A and B are shown apart, each in its own frame.
Chain A
């Protein structure tokens, strides 16, 4: 597997969707390629940061108000 193939298959790699042979080839390429190793590490950092900090949240009062209005509307 070369750099181009690895980047093209990065999402499948992260999703665990590559065949065992492809996965082995990817791991071998990553072990020898600084560039792809960096791409992988940065992508993982993006995913982790998005998971941890990407959420827009309702404030508790708004949440409660919305839930109450859902219940009220259904009781009419």
Chain B
């Protein structure tokens, strides 16, 4: 704790010699904590939606996807010091979210995991949506993305929805860059076929 009296008396007193390094160390700790707080705040601001987006496309319900976001950023906060290259923060944390979402999927054996097996997401998840909204561009592309097989779906979400460079898509999915490119290519082809005449 900061102690102005100890600091003020330090030049003449005997005991403050011990107090001052304490104060300095606490100031350093405080600065480090503030810096970590600033980092996690901006990482969350910039990437929480992306993490949610990736997780939701795997676990297919908002509550589980929200849990993924929470546990992802808790891990990120704990491991901030391990992040040497700030430019890799986004793919690093999206990879954590991706793996956690896959873990939830593995633990959940009895529930449908393929969107084709689920009731229509826009009537089950969003009660306020009108059936006419099905014609809306947003729902059209969302539904088309839902229909993709998971490996293509996550690749195209990362590349085209989240705008990650192809090398970061590969890094999140832990696959080679040409494999990532192949998945994105096949996803776009399927979306193009499904959306033909609609966009």
A residues bordering B, Cβ < 8 Å? 10-12, 15, 39, 42-43, 45-47, 49-51, 53-58, 62-63, 66-67, 69-71, 73-74
The residue that B40 contacts in the complex, of A47, A62, A70, with Cβ under 8 A, is A70
- Most chain B CB within 10 A, of A45, A50, A55, is at A50
Q: Which residue of A lies closest to B185 (CB)?
A: A11
Q: Decide if A63 touches B48 in the complex (CB within 8 Å).
A: yes
Cβ of A10 to closest chain B Cβ, rounded Å: 7
Besides A46-B188, A58-B48, A71-B40, 15 other CB < 8 A contacts? A10-B185, A11-B181, A43-B192, A47-B160, A50-B157, A51-B160, A51-B163, A54-B157, A54-B161, A56-B65, A62-B66, A69-B70, A71-B37, A74-B40, A74-B77
| 26 A-B pairs (CB sep. < 8 Å) | A11-B188, A15-B181, A46-B160, A46-B188, A46-B195, A46-B199, A49-B199, A50-B157, A50-B160, A51-B161, A54-B141, A54-B157, A54-B160, A55-B53, A55-B162, A56-B53, A56-B57, A56-B65, A57-B52, A58-B66, A66-B70, A66-B73, A67-B73, A73-B77, A74-B40, A74-B74
**Interface SS of chain A:** helix
The CA-CA distance from A55 to B57 in the complex, in Å, is 10
- Chain A residues within 8 Å of B49, by CB: 55-58
Give chain B interface residues in 141-195, CB to chain A under 8 Å. 141-142, 145, 156-157, 160-163, 166, 181, 184-185, 188, 191-192, 195
**A46 CB contact (under 8 Å) in B37, B40, B70, B192:** B192
With a cutoff of 8 Å between Cβ atoms, the chain B residues found around residue A51 in the complex are 160-161, 163
Looking at the assembled complex, report how far the CB atom of B112 sits from the nearest CB atom of chain A, in whole angstroms. Answer: 18
* B-chain residues with CB within 8 Å of residue A57 when the two chains form the complex: 49, 52-53
* Chain B residues in the interface with A (C-beta under 8 A): 37, 40-41, 44, 48-49, 52-53, 56-57, 65-66, 69-70, 73-74, 77-78, 137-138, 140-142, 145, 156-157, 160-163, 166, 181, 184-185, 188, 191-192, 195-196, 199
Instruction: Find chain B residues with CB under 8 A from A43 CB.
Output: 188, 192
Given the complex, which residues of B lie within 8 Å of A55, measured CB to CB?
A: 49, 53, 161-162
